[in-house]
Amino acid sequence: MRLVFAGTPEFARIAFDALRAAGHDIPLVMTQPDRPAGRGLKLTPSPVKQAALDAGIEVAQPRSLRLNGRYPDEAAQARELLERVAPDVMVVAAYGLILPQWVLDLPRLGCLNIHASLLPRWRGAAPIQRAIEAGDVRTGVTIMQMDAGLDTGDMLLERGVPIGEDTTAAQLHDALALAGGEAIVATLAALEQGGLTPVPQPQDGVTYAAKLDKAEAALDCTQPAALLARRVRAFNPVPGASIRLAGLDDPVKVWRAQALDQAVTAAPGSVLRADAQGIDVATGEGVLRLLELQKAGGKRQPVDVFVRGWQPA
């Protein structure tokens, strides 16, 4: 098929590579404008843009696609490009811009989104992290026919992915990205043969994955240890999880932790023990054992190394 691909981060780049490997014609890629990155805050292209440039594919980076929005000239230029390309389908994966109705209507077969959850659970911005945080044991990807709503379109194909007890957001991201690439290739193959029937999303089971906030990084020890341990995994690597420990001015980043089902009477946040096995912290329910930490400005350390350099007050 003749495709326009719209995506920005690594999750989308993997799908883009899968579509190219499957032999689809992709004359145009749309992605977010370059952003400052690194210590020097140098303008850096997105992973999708870099992959497109390496493949010699034209790239468009409008700041908006709304013809009556803040950047109408950029939106109009994007429309001219899309009309010239005349795609069969636009494939969208973590693009970062809202598609107005004129975009949804332009491709012959519409716009297909690769969404990182089994819809209608976890519509919205952070489905990977929220699934781990909630304690889900299974998630996946959904290929969805896009409409004007927030992840409300009809479903074309799903691929399930398990969530292990120790799975981090980074690990789940990689598994879902691979599943997304496989799923969109399979969807387009079926569409070419007329073998897919869109299925409306169920009205029951709808949940929303709110955008991650840096303020969520601070672990609230009045909450249950099981929830806190899941948040450590869900926020690894971004926005990260942190905790305050006695004797240190700055919060400590927590990379790994586990919940212990132990009765505790000490005040939440109290350190119950600290040795090579872990730093045990009282919570609102159970004990949170810290296993890998990082001081501000320091390196990640296993807990046996961390405790040797930590002098609690």
Contact 146, 153 (CB under 8 A): yes
CA distance readout (Å), 130 to 121, 184, 215: 10, 23, 15
The domain locations on the chain are 2-209, 214-308
155-162 and 208-209 beta bridge pairing: unpaired
Mean of the per-residue pLDDT values for the chain? 96
Instruction: Decide: helix, strand or coil at residue 15.
Output: helix
- The pLDDT tens digits of the residues spanning 93-134 come to 999 999 999 999 999 999 999 999 999 999 999 999 999 999
Instruction: Decide: helix, strand or coil at residue 122.
Output: coil
Give the CA angle between residues 281, 304, 310 to the nearest 5°. 70
Instruction: Decide: helix, strand or coil at residue 62.
Output: coil
* Residue 175 to residue 185: CA distance in whole angstroms: 16
CATH code assigned to 214-308: 3.10.25.10
Residues in contact with 88: Cβ distance below 8 Å, sequence separation at least 6, in sequence order? 1, 2, 3, 107, 108, 109
Query: Dihedral, CA atoms, 45, 49, 54, 55, nearest 10 degrees?
Result: -170
- The pLDDT tens digits of the residues spanning 199-221 come to 999 999 999 999 999 999 999 99
CA distance readout (Å), 95 to 11, 29, 206, 267: 10, 11, 22, 45
Contact 283, 268 (CB under 8 A): yes
Torsions phi, psi of 213, nearest 5?
-125, 135
Written out in words, the top-level CATH class of the domain with range 2-209 is: alpha beta
pLDDT value of position 37 = 86
Q: Maximum distance among all alpha carbons in the chain?
A: 69
Residue 10 has pLDDT above 90, yes or no: yes
